[in-house]
Amino acid sequence: MNHNFTCPYCWENVDVQLEFSVSETYIQDCEVCCNPIEIQTEWSRDVLTYFNVNPIGQ
């Protein structure tokens, strides 16, 4: 599923493709500024209950 968030580096709205109902933490590059972002997701069955993004290092 598509999820929209604000990049912590460039503050652009970015779409990310989430694995449906899979709770995970992974790193993905921002498609606008190419900086690495840690993405955390938590699901309760098929409902996304938590979504967070963190900038990785510098």
Decide if residue 39 touches Zn ion (CB under 5 A): no
Identified binder of Zn ion from the candidate list 33, 50, 52, 55, rule CB under 5 A? 33
3-class secondary structure, 31: coil
Whole-number minimum distance, CB 24 to Zn ion, in Å? 21
Q: Encode 3-35: b = buried (16+ Cβ within 10 Å), e = exposed.
A: eebebebeeeebebeeeeeeeeeeeeebeeeee
Question: Which is closer to Zn ion, CB of 7 or CB of 39?
Answer: 7
Residues in contact with Zn ion by CB under 5 A are 7, 9-10, 30, 32-33
